[in-house]
Structure 1
Amino acid sequence: MKIIVIGGSGRVGKRVVDELTTHSTHAVTVADRVPPRVPVSNFVPLDLSDSAALAEVIAAHDVVVNTAGPFDLWGTTVLDAAIDGRVDYVDVCDDPEATLALLARDEAARRAGIRAVIGLGVSPGLTNYLGVMAAQHLSEVDTVATFWGDSREGMDVATATTYGTELAAAFAGGRAAYTHLILQAAAEVPIWRDGASTYERAWRRGFRIRTSTGQTGVYRMIGHPEPVTLPRTVPMSQCINIGTVNVVTDRMMLPVLERVHAGDLSPDEAIAQLAQQIAANPSALSTIPQGAPLPRMIGAVATGRADRARREVIAFPGGPVDGSMSLETARPAVVGVLDIADAPIGVHAPESAFDAERFLTRYAEIYWDGAPPYLLDSAASGLLTELDEAHRS
């Protein structure tokens, strides 16, 4: 199988290339505007605005992996070229509006006879499968909330000072991931409510997840693809995605996000302002413990009924997902590429492309060295709680 990784010189793309090379013998080509820092055997210079060059390079391969963001700009460009070239496609799109645009190519993909799996990263991606697994333990589903981020509470002043200094430097570095965070936290974003798609301002609603043994973390609602796709596979009343930077920074972001939403600040200006605020007083990120931290940095919680009784279920990954986010994002995409022949024809979100339990089991075999594919926790209530106004700000 000949695989081409679009954006293969970037943070996630490089990880995809490394993982494909480690876990397969397939021929892998890197396509990007600039060559990777570490030389590779196959590199093709490519500007995505050159449609003829894009079509030519994709048509020479069997599968294209798209890691080139922003996906609202380049997602459909690359997928359309894959459809025209009749080449299978995998991406790591984490933009909800781009997800809708990609899903709209389903009929064209079916006519071309190709398989396209979108949003197959860590979140979305693994979180989608965990949402399915949590929901499968309920006979009737009210809410599915996928979640991500380091939600721990309980940093002393010394720890907060070190952490805050590093976070401020990361913000100041201007990484695209932080621009994406600000855009999705300041926007009206698609969610699923009362059995239908609607839009809501992100970041205003806060939630606490608490396991049956008291492990806990706080998150805020943000724009993400899971609420766009999961209700198409799992019947439910409500679906949201919730995330966190850390509990103090999350609150610090609120007035800045209001200004971004109003058009008074650009996302880059907002990031710079937050970096300055945190750098000026990093110890302010210290917090009082509310319980032990959650066992994993991603997961999903489903609420509803089982045998007519109230029941809530949390699904966590069976193994760790606390390494580099570029690596954690790349790995599910690699599993999808290796198993692309098992996906149905058309454009699919992770949960409709592969069976959830089978995918997580396959992932665990490759990356978790014998760990179970997922961990479950359940209780009658209290695993997912929306915070009242006093605790949100």
Structure 2
Amino acid sequence: MRVVALGGAGATGAVAARVAANLPRVREVVIADRAGGARVDITDEKSLRDLLKDADVVLNTVGPFYRYGTTVLRAAIDTGTHYLDICDDWQPTRDLLALDGSARAAGVRAVVGMGASPGASNLLAVLAARELTDVDEVHTAWPADGDGDPAATAAVVHWMLQISGRIAVVERGAITERPPLRPLELTLPSGATGTAHTVGHPEPLTFHTTFRPRAATTLMVAPAATIAYLDVLRHDIDTGRLTPDTAARALVRPTPGRVLRSLTRHPAGPGTLPRFFALATGGGHAVEARLDHPTLLDDMAEATGLPLALALAQLDSVPPGVHAPEAAIDPDRFFHDLARHHPDAVPTIHRGRR
């Protein structure tokens, strides 16, 4: 199998390429990027198709996905190249899934959003939801506690986009758009309690199809002070005072004025909530699936690139078309493979009454 790691010179792409190179049946990994390896400009359609035409699979870690996601997937479909990415924007996820018919006609297998969240989070949701006869609500949560790499500019800009404007959630069984950073008080079957806050991500969009819940959200587990400052940035983006790019700089280097404004906000804190979990409820029951592994969760490149490569190992069993992780990847095999790299990264399941 010849694999192209598109964006493979970046931190996340490098992890995915390294892990993929050690998978059975992978005979070659081509590092493709603007700056090194096989140089490619993905805005040049001919250059991109020339790169992909001799590849069996492309691992796409090039963002922002609202700008480049469908460009790469369309090229993969045209060249008959199977496709995996880490898209964590809900709007382009909708556009990527709309290419399902074209991918099926071309015999191309594609899984979108196969990183940490979405990705591993979706598979935690499967572990939780399959314990229930009927699924009423599904929520996933990831940590936003300021331990990430401030130099990861693209990721911070993405974050600003997902805490401003309106985001996709599921309410009353339908996808709708709501303002982000809304609080959700939770009591988990493990006994953990606290408040998490909504953020824009693809999980509710795909859960609407795969689980058909009455409600679904993606949540941030973050200190109250972080949520308060994010709410200031959200307000300034929505009123035109900041762009996502300038808001990202204001997050990395907080300004005194915005810090003072954040002190007037008093959001509820995360309490004892775990950092990375899925919660499914239904029929009077609740199931929590959580992953506690500080080293993995604090390394964004490892947490995102490793799941992408592990999904490659399952691609032969994925049918043609464009799929969300929970619809295509076996969670038991995935977490077994994850534990081979991080032995303590084993999901724990807690059950209780709703």
Instruction: Please give the residue correspondences for 1:5-44 in structure 2 after superposition, counting only pairs within 5 Å.
Output: 5-24=5-24, 25-35=26-36, 43-44=37-38
Give the structure 1 partner of residue 177 of structure 2: 199
Q: Deviations over 1:331-363 (max 9, x none)?
A: 111011122111111000101112333333343
> Secondary structure at the residue paired with 2:310?
helix
Give the structure 2 partner of residue 378 of structure 1: 351
Q: Deviations over 1:2-39 (max 9, x none)?
A: 0001111112111111222344553100111001xxxx
Q: CA deviation at 1:92?
A: 0.4
Give the structure 2 partner of residue 233 of structure 1: 210
Q: Percent identity?
A: 32
- 2:196 touches 2:270 (CA, 8 Å); kept in 1? no
- 2:189 touches 2:286 (CA, 8 Å); kept in 1? no
> Secondary structure at the residue paired with 1:123?
coil
> Which deviates the most, 214-223 or 85-94?
214-223
Q: Deviations over 1:61-115 (max 9, x none)?
A: 1000100000011101110010000010000000000100000100000010010
Match of 2:331 among 340, 356, 377: 356
Q: CA deviation at 1:137?
A: 1.6
Residues 279 and 148 of structure 1, relative CA distance in 2, 3 Å threshold: farther
Give the structure 1 partner of residue 229 of structure 2: 252
- 1:134 touches 1:300 (CA, 8 Å); kept in 2? yes
Letter of the 2:289 partner, please give it: A
Q: CA deviation at 1:318?
A: 7.0
Match of 2:160 among 169, 176, 182: 182
Q: Deviations over 1:285-322 (max 9, x none)?
A: xx99985562xx311011221xxxx2211101376632
Match of 1:129 among 111, 123, 130: 123
- 1:143 touches 1:239 (CA, 8 Å); kept in 2? yes
Distance across 1 between alignment mates of 2:190 and 2:198: 24
- 2:162 touches 2:200 (CA, 8 Å); kept in 1? yes
Distance across 2 between alignment mates of 1:290 and 1:14: 33
Q: CA deviation at 1:380?
A: 1.7
Letter of the 2:94 partner, please give it: L
Runs of 4+, deviation exceeding 6 Å: 278-282, 287-290
Distance across 2 between alignment mates of 1:88 and 1:218: 40
Residues 210 and 22 of structure 1, relative CA distance in 2, 3 Å threshold: farther
Structure having the higher Rg:
1
> Which deviates the most, 338-347 or 101-110?
338-347
Letter of the 1:198 partner, please give it: T
Aligned pairs, how many? 346
- 1:4 touches 1:63 (CA, 8 Å); kept in 2? yes
| 1:146 correspondence with 2:140 | yes
Aligned CA RMSD, in angstroms, stands at 2.6
Residues 60 and 289 of structure 1, relative CA distance in 2, 3 Å threshold: closer
Match of 2:113 among 115, 119, 127: 119
Residues 75 and 281 of structure 1, relative CA distance in 2, 3 Å threshold: closer
- 1:174 touches 1:268 (CA, 8 Å); kept in 2? no
Letter of the 1:44 partner, please give it: A
Distance across 2 between alignment mates of 1:61 and 1:375: 38
Task: Extract unaligned runs of 5+ from structure 1.
Answer: 36-42, 152-162, 382-393
| 1:48 correspondence with 2:49 | no
Letter of the 2:299 partner, please give it: S
Q: Deviations over 1:160-207 (max 9, x none)?
A: xxx7xx88xx55x4611111111110021111111111111111x112
Distance across 2 between alignment mates of 1:250 and 1:116: 35
